[in-house]
Chains A and B, each alone.
Chain A
Amino acid sequence: MNVTFTTAENEFRSEVRKYFKEEFPQDVLEKQRKAIPLTREDTVRWHKNIYRKGWAAPSWPVEYGGTGWSSVQKYIFADEQARASAPAFLPFGISMVGPIIYTFGNDEQKKRFLPDILEFNTWWCQGYSEPGAGSDLASLKLRADLEGDHYVLNGTKTWTTLGQYADWIFCLARTNSDVARRQEGISFVLVNMKQPGVSVKPIVLLDGEHEVNEIHFDNVQVPVKNLVGEEGKGWTYGKVLLQHERATITGVANLKYMLSRLCSLCAKSIKGAEPLSDDRTFMRKVAAAKVEFKALEYTELRTLASVASGKAPGPESSILKIVGTELRQRIDSLYLEASGYYALPYVRDQYDSTYPEEDRVGEGSETNAALVYFNDRKVSIYGGSNEIQRNIIAKHVLGL
């Protein structure tokens, strides 16, 4: 039993670290450190940078442009990415629709869509949830009626993250309502958003950010060649995608560096206040979060070791989403507490380096701690709420 890395793995780590230090856009890292939202241009630019490096799709097969990394290398990459405060890959293309297309799509679709996903020429968004279909996704109502060589789409998708920037949306749509099980009759279709009948309405979240949208489809024409796999089998494909999604939102690596930044913040005296590291009550909460993190990290490492030795991830991997997201929220709340009164000014851009120094309110916080705290309430809700995750574990792991 050991968790040591090989020489080759350590060399790989150095190479990745060097990339983030020297080649990756440094202004993006700076914004990330201060929890300032990235613009569309920022996001496209850093993805293209990583594409040029050849690392745009760590989890894809090599034949489609993947890196061919081992699971340990992927772990090291994610760890260094988080260590550098680099943003995580935007999941919609790389982690979500890409794998569906190369797994279930035809050759024409692979040629047509995969290169642009890899190079980030196309911005994708996810059309799953609907106003009446959240955790109960199978109750979705977006209709796709076949008329000649087109489907005609009518209905609404919601909680569409960064849909305002997107060029394409992948949707689960109902192609048949006359089915025995609601999971049948659902199809997976790719929709160009730059066409008549598609309208994007912003939903402003509690942190004041426009991150998600409601997307309306009004007689939108989708050619049949944009159907992925078989008609009516979309639920099966979509479920595969949800597994990818759950694997990506745990963000274990990121939590490690959130905790270490929290500890640095605690060690500082801000505006003459006593450093929090002298406050034993607070530090006990930090210590408890660290233990929980360690448990999460080793659960992930166990999963990784199991995959690396050619086995399937064990049932322990099922707890990663729940534990990872709830720990993230706990760390967020510790940041909030650590910031005290200076978590409260609602001046969104003031930690941007271009913001006039003399106008900045307080120095008590180094990040938008409250905005992060509020925004991250989402992590236990999306990707299958944590209650749904508990249902899944109860059924599939505990056999209840």
Chain B
Amino acid sequence: MDFSLNEVQMMLADSIEKFIANEYDFDARQKHSGSELGYSEEVWKTFAELGWTAVPFSEEDGGFDGGPVDMMVVMERLGRGLVVEPYLANVVLAGGILRRGGNSTQKSEWLSPLISGKLQATLAFAEPQARYDIANIATTAVRDGQSFVINGSKGYVLNGGNAELLIIPARTSGSQSDERGITLFGIAADTAGVSIQSYDTIDGQRAAEIQLTNVSLTAASVIGEVDGGFQTLQSTIADATFAVSAEAVGIMNVLTEKTIAYTKSRFQFGVPISSFQALQHRMVEMYVACEQSRAIMMWAAMAVTEGGETSAHAVHSLKYQIGIAGTRVGEEAVQIYGGMGMTWEMDVAHYFKRLTAITLMFGNADWHLDRLAGSATP
């Protein structure tokens, strides 16, 4: 039994922590977030140079051969730094599809430049009518001789405005919510018929609504098998669910630490407000929420490493936990900061907003709890 990180994981953790401490303070984050691109190209280059974009990929694919524990290490720290660079969209989502389903041509054309930070990519996992059901795909891809013609719309495409490569799940057969009949396509964003409406999101990031109108593609765009893309999609979304949960654990810890520190420096009635029991107990609950979430995250990291049925169960449990505990910690931080927590100027407010976005991503607490309630796994 061992809950410690190995040497490589500790080095990874250390390098990210140093970068955040030295080069990514809150002002820098706000600057990157508010820039035209919505993130810093220079920072992204650094991520690639330091090998962070290579973490989940096999050595054969030019990666670091990291597993869920390594991903946990990265994401928790990106959470702590409130990093806006599109790690999730590129590395976890698009990268997750490509490493699982991509053929050698696709890997050299797309995955290699993604890892080296030269290609921006994303996965369009959501459709407006589907809420959190990733199998609910109304976008169609109809075979026309040697090519496919795609029509439909995708919502909340992370990094959608900057991505040069869009990975689009589309229905090639079956009815709207069937798992079978989903095919994954890699599409250049500048392909005719692709229209992209980019927008800011509440958490200082960017997403896009994407319309696909008679987009014509060759069979070379198909990632994996025709009709058989669901498994790859599902595993990748499970990875992403785990990843944002780890990010949330980082954020929750920062919020709790900052709240504690703030109450010690804020004086009312002549004493620091940290001396009030009403606030102390609330902060203890924040701490408990952080520790409970960390425990589930560690269980999930190990369960996902092992694979099998427990793996899915653990990820549902984790995202449920994050949904409940994250909301609690975020709301409590703002409450205890009082009016200051309401201001744009304070970093806590922005941590709270990112945490809130995460609670809704890839299924909210109720959605995951419902999956757990319907299964018999202990």
Question: Which A residues form the contact surface with B (CB < 8 A)?
Answer: 1-5, 72, 259-260, 263, 280, 283-284, 286-288, 290-292, 294-299, 301-302, 304-306, 308-309, 316, 319, 322-323, 387, 390-391, 393-394, 397-400
Contact = CB atoms under 8 A, between A and B. Distances in A.
A362 to B, nearest CB: 27
Nearest to A281: B373
A298 B298 contact: yes
A3 B69 CA distance: 13
Contacts of B277: 391, 394
A280 B287 CA distance: 31
B296 A394 contact: no
B370 A302 contact: no
A1 to B, nearest CB: 5
A299 B283 CA distance: 19
Interface in B302-329: 302, 317, 320-321
Given A284-B370, A301-B3, A394 B295 contact: no
A279 B103 CA distance: 46
Q: Is the interface of A mostly helix, strand, loop or mixed?
A: helix
Nearest to A389: B284
Contacts of A295: 291-293, 295-296, 299, 321
Contacts of B274: 400
Interface string B352-378: 000000000000000001101110101
Contacts of B5: 1
B281 A390 contact: yes
Contacts of B295: 294-299, 302, 316
B266 interface: no
Given A1-B69, A295-B293, A400-B264, 13 more contacts: A280-B373, A284-B373, A287-B369, A299-B295, A301-B1, A301-B3, A302-B3, A319-B287, A319-B291, A390-B285, A391-B280, A391-B281, A400-B274
20 contacts: A1-B3, A284-B370, A284-B372, A287-B373, A291-B317, A291-B369, A296-B295, A302-B295, A304-B1, A305-B4, A316-B294, A319-B288, A322-B288, A391-B281, A393-B284, A394-B280, A398-B283, A398-B284, A399-B260, A400-B275
A72 to B, nearest CB: 6
Contacts of B285: 390
Which of B1, B264, B274, B275 has the most C-beta atoms of chain A within 10 angstroms of its own C-beta?
A: B1
Given A283-B373, A287-B373, A390 B1 contact: no
Classify chain B's interface size.
Answer: 35 or more
A302 B299 CA distance: 10
Contacts of B373: 280, 283-284, 286-287
Given A280-B370, A302-B295, A288 B283 contact: no
A400 B369 CA distance: 34
Contacts of A3: 1, 302
Nearest to B298: A298
B301 interface: yes
A1 B301 contact: yes
A304 B3 CA distance: 10
* 7 closest cross-chain pairs (CB), A and B: A298-B295, A394-B280, A287-B372, A295-B292, A283-B373, A284-B373, A287-B373
B369 A288 contact: yes
Interface string B98-133: 000000000000000000000000000000000000
A290 B292 CA distance: 12
Given A302-B298, A323-B292, A400 B280 contact: yes
A400 B288 contact: no
Interface in B217-272: 260, 263-264
Nearest to A267: B376
Contacts of B4: 1, 305, 309
A353 B284 CA distance: 45
Given A391-B277, A394-B281, A263 B378 contact: yes
Contact of A294 (B260, B291, B296): B296
Contacts of A296: 292, 295
Which of B260, B283, B284, B321 has the most C-beta atoms of chain A within 10 angstroms of its own C-beta?
A: B284
